[in-house]
Structure 1
Amino acid sequence: MLISRLKTMLLMGLLLLGNHVNSEGLDKLTFITESYPPYNFENSGILRGISVDLLVAAAQKVSQPVTRNKIKLYPWARGYRNAVDGPNIVLFATTRTEEREPLFKWAGPITATRIVLLAPKASNISIKSPEDLKKYKIAAIRDDVGEQLVVALGIEKGKIKSSANADSVVKKLANNKVDMWAYEENVARWFIKKNNLNNDDYATVYVLKEAELYYAFSKDVSDTVVASVQEGIDKVKAAPGKVGKTLYDDIMSEYM
């Protein structure tokens, strides 16, 4: 009788443990991204990009598959607010900064990033210090790291022309509605090309920050879940590649 009871208690304990593990799986998370090529973007109805492919591969490595159709594509400001508020949100690709550090839990890095100010070459703008920025109108994406970095430099809000998406910013830049654009360098040039403009006509006039892109988790997500994603990323970066040295190199070479 005692042995039977012990077996029953052990079985119940294992079931409870299994339920606890399942409740903390990646399938309980909401993954949010934006149109931010080459890191994350939609192509023919399918989400692609460096950070999307890395997430899918990392989840596979820890036997907790994440499908592309599970990832939601939102404007950045909406996704950012959701990630700050939670619950169970993963936002990517997110530039990790000192200001954002306490707002999220982090897994990564995805890759290095450079936030810059781009301006038309014909404008002959030369920026030697943040003080020089105060006489210009600067475009940014609302709640994007570019906007946050410009604000941190003490630029008046009236000088910052924020938009919801990159396509509208490119139009403002092309039509001389703004003087320069604060954004991730590779992404900005992707959108310039997408809008049939010549990248040779635009120059990086100032580097706001060199940092790294990460997956940002809302604070309520358990450390165990964050650690599992980190484990998957580490495994992708260590796994042999078919084209490059590692699987991570294969993903990068697909887009860069």
Structure 2
Amino acid sequence: MSYSLFLLSSMLLANQQVPTTVQRPIHIVTESLPPYQVYTQGKIEGFSTEVVKEVFKRADIPYSLSINSWTRSYNLTLQRKGVCIYSIARLAFREPLFHWVGNITNTNMVIFGAKGHPPYQLKSIEEAQQYTAAVIKDDITHQALLKSGFKDGENLYVVENTSSLLKLLTSRDDIDLIVADDITIHYRARLANIDMSKISRLFEMPDLPLNFYLACNKDTDKNVLSKLEQALIDLKRDGSYQKIFERWQQYLPNAEPSK
């Protein structure tokens, strides 16, 4: 090769741009859980949704968002790299399963019954084990009650659909209890067209607070996870999180803002 051709070839190579790595969108999954996640007219909204969308916007990370049954969302996050989930309760037995990005909000957990049917009162989780509770497969209530001594097929009746819990409680004599929080129970009743005067609040579970988090599959890119963590910290630090909470506070009477 002549010197002139060599020089021309070198100049062309030098002017070529090295292709940049394109960030693949993170897939965010969740369930319908008003007022945290509200699915209306093809849109996913709600308090937690607004927080999560702002976190991804600040982190400058592209994403897609879908709402599914809790079981599907939970399992997708467990099994697939690059999938994140909210609002998921952070519990000791879930700790090693996910990367916990940060806390979104906190609430309580309560055992409810049907008025006019036993149990008429409860004082402990041990007393509750004499009765049958309906739970959503793989959600916090299912997993927590299993840890507390309940057993599938014995005193746990497992279903897939959140809206069916209250219907089961108020229509079937073999279902005695459900577990929910003081906030979502009212939305569930409204969606199921059930009068809350038919529901009894029996026992608050002090050892099982609901700490809702944004979490991701453990094998998700560490740079992405770091950006998400920092974005949530910044959101709380500059007061933006508090402003979102205040906009939704009328729908979150017993919730606590995240610190």
TM-score class, shorter: 0.7 to 0.9
Residues 64 and 219 of structure 1: is their aligned pair in 2 closer, same or farther, counting only changes over 3 Å? closer
Q: Give the superposition deviation at 1:53.
A: 0.7
The DSSP-based 3-state class of the residue aligned with 1:217 is strand
Counterpart Cα distance in 1 of 2:170 and 2:151: 23
Matched AA of 1:204: R
How far does the alpha carbon of each residue in 1:85-108 deviate from its partner, in whole angstroms, 9 at most, with x for none? 112111111000001110000122
Which residues of 2 match residues 70-219 of structure 1 at below 5 A?
Answer: 70-123=64-117, 125-157=120-152, 158-177=154-173, 178-208=175-205, 209-219=208-218
Amino acid at match of 1:111: T
Which letter does structure 2 place at the counterpart of 1:173?
Answer: L
Q: Distance in 2 between matches of 1:134 and 1:45?
A: 40
Q: Over the residues paired in the alignment, what is the CA RMSD in angstroms?
A: 2.5
Structure 1 residues 200 and 232, CA, compared in 2 at 3 Å: closer, same or farther?
farther
Instruction: Using structure 2 for the length normalisation, give the TM-score.
Output: 0.82
Cα offset for 1:254? 6.6
SS at match of 2:190: helix
Contact kept, 8 Å, 1:146 with 1:184, in 2: the verdict is no
Report the structure number with the largest CA radius of gyration: 2
- Does structure 2 conserve the Cα–Cα contact (< 8 Å) formed by 1:39 and 1:52? yes
What amino acid is aligned across from residue 134 of structure 2 in structure 1?
A
Q: Structure 1 unaligned runs (5+)? A: none
User: Does the CA-based 8 Å contact 1:59-1:232 persist in structure 2?
Assistant: yes
Change (3 A) 1:129 1:254: closer
Amino acid at match of 2:120: I
Does the CA-based 8 Å contact 1:140-1:163 persist in structure 2? yes
Post-superposition offset of 1:8: 5.1
Q: How does 1:40-55 map to 2 (within 5 A)?
A: 40-55=37-52
| Cα distance between partner residues in 2 of 1:128 and 1:220 | 42
Name the counterpart of 1:221: 220
Give yes or no for the alignment of 1:238 onto 2:232. Answer: no
1:59 is displaced (CA, Å) by: 1.7
Higher mean C-alpha displacement, 204-213 vs 130-139: 204-213
Aligned counterparts of 2:67 and 2:242: Cα–Cα separation in 1: 28
Match 1:253 to one of 226, 246, 249: 249
> 1:11-90, aligned counterparts within 5 Å?
12=18, 18-19=20-21, 22-23=22-23, 27-64=24-61, 66=63, 70-90=64-84
* Distance change (3 Å), C-alpha of 1:255 and 1:107: farther
Report the alpha carbon displacement of residue 36 of structure 1 after superposing the two structures with TM. Answer: 1.0
Give the number of the structure whose residues are more often helix, by fraction.
Answer: 1
Preserved CA contact (<8 Å) 1:76 1:143: yes
Deviation at 1:131, TM superposition (A): 1.9
Segment drifting more, 100-109 vs 179-188: 179-188
Q: Which amino acid aligns with 1:130?
A: I
TM-score (norm 1): 0.82
Classify the secondary structure of the residue corresponding to 1:31.
strand
Residue-by-residue CA offset, 1:119-174 (whole Å, 9 max, x unaligned): 12323522212221122110100001001111111123221011111111111011
Given that 1:54 and 1:251 are in contact with CA atoms closer than 8 Å, whether structure 2 keeps it comes out as no
Give a deviation string over 1:198-238, Cα, whole Å, max 9, x none. 22332332233113101120111123212212222222223
